[in-house]
A and B are shown apart, each in its own frame.
Chain A
Amino acid sequence: MAAKPISIIVVAGSRERLQMAAMIAAVGAVSGNPVTVFLSMNALQYFVKGDRTAAPPEGRFGELLDAKNAPPFRAMFEQAVTLGDAKIHPCSMAMDVMGLEPSALEPWLAEPLGLTKFLGDAADAQIWSF
């Protein structure tokens, strides 16, 4: 049975939500599922090239993630790409609002995508939103 595609929309800027989105992307991708991630709104800022700003915790668990040796969300998204062939697309609307060019983003991101294309590709996928 073919693995079902996984589509993940990430608009949150909190530590916990970025962490869980990255975990699903990474584990889903290395388990043989085609994974597509759509980064928009408050999530996109953390994928500007070289940006290592810490995402603020939403609650106690986010504080624990910082205190313990939890894999960083950026690294897990990148692993989803390098180990599992995931495609991580920045939202073209968010890029326009933030004045970002593709060259300003991490090189392991895929090409910018609009909602129409993303929703079309996600039609047969399990969809997760953060």
Chain B
Amino acid sequence: MAEKRVIDARGSFCPGPLMELIAGMKMAQVGDELEVLSSDKGSANDIPEWIHKAGHEHVGTREEAGVWHISVRKVK
């Protein structure tokens, strides 16, 4: 059954949130959804770029009170 995990990378600067996501993706199973919390605006653009390049599903991005929530589903 697909799991959902939150990776709290608030306070970390680029490329910290991306690297934390990738470490999480390595542990995840196909179908799992990971949500990265990032206070770094640059990462909010960079992470979807990586998701697209790596061939995973960008579920969505939203911003709440200066924190970006970037969700990705592991496809392969």
Q: Which residue numbers of A lie inside 8 Å of B, CB to CB?
A: 23, 26-27, 30-32, 68-71, 76, 79, 83-84
The answer to whether residues A79 and B11 also contact, given A31-B50, A31-B54, A32-B54 and a CB cut-off of 8 A, is no
B23 and chain A: residue at smallest CB distance: A83
Which residues in B have their C-beta under 8 angstroms from that of A70? 13, 16
**Chain A to chain B: the 10 pairs with minimum beta-carbon distance, closest first:** A71-B16, A70-B13, A30-B22, A69-B11, A27-B15, A83-B22, A79-B19, A31-B53, A69-B12, A23-B15
Decide if A69 touches B19 in the complex (CB within 8 Å): no
Give B5-47 interface residues, CB cut-off 8 Å to A.
Answer: 11-16, 18-19, 22-23, 26, 46
A24 and chain B: residue at smallest CB distance: B15
A26-B11 Cα distance, complex, nearest whole Å: 19
Which residues in A have their C-beta under 8 angstroms from that of B15? 23, 26-27, 71, 76
A69-B18 Cα distance, complex, nearest whole Å: 14
Which residues in A have their C-beta under 8 angstroms from that of B12? 69, 71
Decide if B53 touches A83 in the complex (CB within 8 Å): no
Which residues in B have their C-beta under 8 angstroms from that of A84? 22
6 inter-chain pairs at a CB distance below 8 angstroms, sorted by A residue, are A27-B18, A27-B46, A70-B16, A79-B23, A83-B22, A83-B23
Which residues in A have their C-beta under 8 angstroms from that of B50? 27, 30-31
Interface 0/1 of B42-75, CB less than 8 Å to A: 0000100010011000000000000000000000
